[in-house]
Chains A and B, each alone.
Chain A
Amino acid sequence: MVVKKQERESLIHERYLRHHKKFPHVWCAGCGIGIVMGAIVRAVDAVGLSNDEVAMISGIGCSGRMPVYVDFNTMHTTHGRALAFATGLKMVRPEMKVIVVMGDGDALAIGGNHFIHAARRNIGLTAIIINNNVYGMTGGQYSPTTPTHAYATTAPYGNIEQPFPICQLAQAAGAAFVARSTVYHARELSRFIAQAIQKEGFSVVEAVSYCHTTYGRINKLGSAVEMMRHLKDKGVTQKTFEALAEEERADKIVRGVFVDRDIPEYTRLYDEIIARAQQTVANGRTA
C-alpha cells in the first residue's frame, strides 16, 4: 500500500508541475507556500481535472510566483488584480476551472475591492488566500492581516491597525463557499481546496501560513519549524473551538468550512441574459 501511494504521489508531481523546467523555486527554505501549491495540485488530481481545463492566476508577491511552477494555463498578473483578470477569463471560458492564488496584502489591501466584488457577483472562481500576515517579498511591511500590536518594518513601534477577518469578509460579501485551514494541516487544506474547486460559485480558502524570514524574525517567533508548530498547536476545528472557554479562544486559528451555500453562479446567469437578449431580437424588438 505504501509503495502504491508513493507511486501516485510521484505521478502527481510529474503531471502537474513544470518540474524539469522551472525548479528550484524562488521561495525561502521552510516557507509554507510550497505546501499550498502541493495541496492545490493534489486537489486538482482528486477532483480528476486535466491540466488543460485548469487556469491558475496570481497577483504580485511571493504567492504571485506559483503559476510558474504548475503545468496549467498560467498567468501572473498585476498586484491585487488577479481576481479581475480571472473574471474576464471565466466570462469567456466558463468551462475552465480558474484558481486564483493571492497573498493577504495582494487580496485584501490593493485587491480588497476586487475581492469583495468577485464574492458579491458569485462568479465561479476559486480564490486561495495564503495568509502569512505580512508583505514578505518586499521585506516585512505590515499587511491587512497583521495582528494588532505586532511589529513590522513599517510598524517599528507596533501595529495599531486591526486585521481583516478574511473568512467573515468573504461570507458577508456573498461567497458561496468559505473555508480555512493551515499549511500544517496540509491534507485538510487540500480537501477544502478540492471542495472549493467543485463548488459552483465564488469559493474562498484561507490557507494560514507564516513568514519566518521577515515577520517571524521581526517578532522573534523563531524558525520555520517553530512557526509551523504554532499552527499545529493553535489550529483547532470549529467543534473544538466552540467547546473552549472564552479566555482560551483568543489565540486560536479556527479551521473548517464556514460557508457552503447554493446561490446562482454569475456566468450561468449571464447565459440566461444572452438567451433573453437573443429572444428579444428574435421577437423583432430592439430591447
Chain B
Amino acid sequence: MTGKLMQGDEACAEGAIAAGCRFFAGYPITPATDIAEVLARRLPQVGGKFIQMEDEIASMAAVIGASVGGAKAMTATSGPGFSLMQENIGYAAMAEIPCVVVDVQRAGPSTGLPTKPSQGDVMQSRWGTHGDHPIIVLSPSSVRETFDFTVRAFNMAEKYRTPVILLMDEMIGHMREKVELPSPEAIEVVERVSTSVPPEWYKAYENTPSDVPPMISFGQGYRYHITGLFHDERGFPTQRLDEIDPWIARVFRKIERNLRDILIYEADEIEDAEIVVIAYGATARSARHAVKQARARGYRVGFLRLGTLWPFPEEVVERAAERIHRVIVPEMNLGQLALEVERVVGRRKVMRVGKANGEMVTPQEVLDAIVRGVSAWL
C-alpha cells in the first residue's frame, strides 16, 4: 500500500518539521488546535521546542523572538486569534523577521462558527496589520498540498526575510485524505542568508544587491538593534526620508522581483476556454468538480487555481481572462478575492459565487454559474 490517511492540520505540522521548524508558540483555538497538539508531541522529538502562550498576541511575539534567536518558527491559529496576531505580524514585516503564521479559517466575524469553514480572512491576511507592507500568503487545496505549502512557506520566509501566512480553512484543516508524503531527500529546504563579514561591518538592514540582507541570530557576536520603528541600515530608529524611502522600496522590491518563485498557480485548459473559473483553498475542490462536470457536458471551461493569493498574481489572472467574457470566482466569503479579480479583469466580467455561512460552495452552485455565465453572452 502506498499513501496513508492524514489530516490537513497534521500535514501542516509534519510539513513544518520537514522544513526545519524548531519552534512553535500558540494558543488553543478550533480548528487549528490539532497543529499545536501534533507539534507539542513532535517538536521535542527532533530537539525543537513548543510553548503554549497566554494568548495569540504573545504567541506571535514569541515566534519572532525565537526567529531572532535563529530558529525557524511558526504559530497556528484561526480568525479570532489571527486578529490578535496582526500587531506583531506588522512587527515581523517591519523588522524583516522570517516566520510562518498559519490561519485555519473558520466562519466569522467574531466567534462566528468555530467548527465551520470559511475563506473570510483573505483580505485580513493582506491588510490585517496597519501600514503598507509586503506579505506572502499561500492557500492549499488538499492535505498533500498543505504539507508542501508549509515547506514552501518556511522556504519563502527564510529566503526573503518576511512573515509568510499559510491560509488554510477548516475543510482542509480537518479533512483526512489519502496522502503520499515526499521522501525527506526530495524536499527542498532553504536556509536564511547569512554572512561572514566581521561584526563591525555587519548591517542587518543593508541595501544589498539581492534586496535581502543577511540575518545573523542573536548571540553570535554580531550585536545589532531590531525595532518596529522605521530604521536605518544598522537597525537604529530614523526619521530621515533618505533612510526610510530606500527601506520601503527595498522590502517591496524583494518580493516583486521574485514573483516567479513566489507565485504558485495551476492553469488548466485556459487556452480555448469560453469561461474561466478561478478558485483557491477548499473551494477549488468544488470548482474542479464542477469544471469536470461542465466539460463532460461540452462546455469549454478553463480552470485557474491559485496557490499564492498575495502578492495577487495579477499577470496570471490577466492573461487567463484576456480573451474571455466571463470569469467565475467561487469562494467562502462574499467576494474578497473577487475584488482583486475585478480590479484586474474588469468588474463586468466577474461572476461571484460567495457564501459566508460556514457551508462549502457546492459543485452544483459553481456549475450553475458556469451555465449562467455561458448563456449570458451567447
Contacts and interface: CB of A to CB of B under 8 A. Distances in A.
Direct contact of A and B (CB under 8 A): yes
A88 B23 contact: yes
B63 interface: yes
A92 B229 contact: no
Interface stretch (A31-39, A49-57, A161-169): A49-57
B51 A74 contact: no
Interface range, A side: 35 or more
A81 to B, nearest CB: 4
B210 interface: no
Nearest to A73: B218
A21 B225 CA distance: 12
Contacts of A270: 44, 49, 51
Provide the main secondary structure of the chain A interface: helix
A68 B237 contact: yes
A89 interface: yes
Interface string B45-58: 10101010111011
Contact of B23 (A73, A91, A96): A91
By CB atoms of chain A within 10 A, which of B59, B217, B228 has the most?
Answer: B228
Given A77-B228, A92-B71, A87 B45 contact: no
Given A88-B69, A281-B45, A55 B218 contact: yes
A87 B226 contact: no
B155 to A, nearest CB: 20
A5 to B, nearest CB: 27
Contacts of B58: 81, 84, 87, 113-114, 117
B62 A91 contact: yes
A213 B226 CA distance: 28
Interface stretch (A127-135, A217-225, A227-235, A271-279): A271-279
A52 B223 CA distance: 7
B124 interface: no
A81 B57 contact: yes
Interface string A83-125: 0111111111101100000000000000001100100000000
B312 interface: no
B57 A84 contact: yes
B128 interface: no
A71 B219 contact: no
A175 interface: no
Contacts of B65: 57, 75, 84-91
Contacts of A55: 218-219
A110 to B, nearest CB: 9
B221 interface: yes
A89 B236 CA distance: 20
By CB atoms of chain B within 10 A, which of A67, A88, A114 has the most?
Answer: A88
Nearest to B234: A21
Contacts of B225: 67-68, 74-76
Nearest to A120: B54
Interface string A42-79: 00000000011101010000000001100111111110
Contacts of B47: 274, 278
B44 A89 contact: no
B219 A274 contact: no
B63 to A, nearest CB: 6
B61 interface: yes
A24 to B, nearest CB: 14
Nearest to A50: B221
A126 to B, nearest CB: 15
A93 B70 contact: yes
A114 to B, nearest CB: 5
Contacts of B44: 270, 273-274, 276-278
Considering the complex of A and B, which 3 residue pairs feature the smallest CB-CB distances, nearest first?
A88-B65, A88-B62, A84-B61
6 contacts: A73-B218, A75-B65, A89-B69, A95-B219, A114-B54, A286-B41
Given A74-B224, A75-B68, A93-B218, 6 more contacts: A75-B227, A76-B226, A87-B58, A92-B22, A93-B70, A117-B54
Interface of B: 22-23, 25, 41, 44-45, 47, 49, 51, 53-55, 57-59, 61-71, 73, 87-88, 91, 217-221, 223-229, 236-237
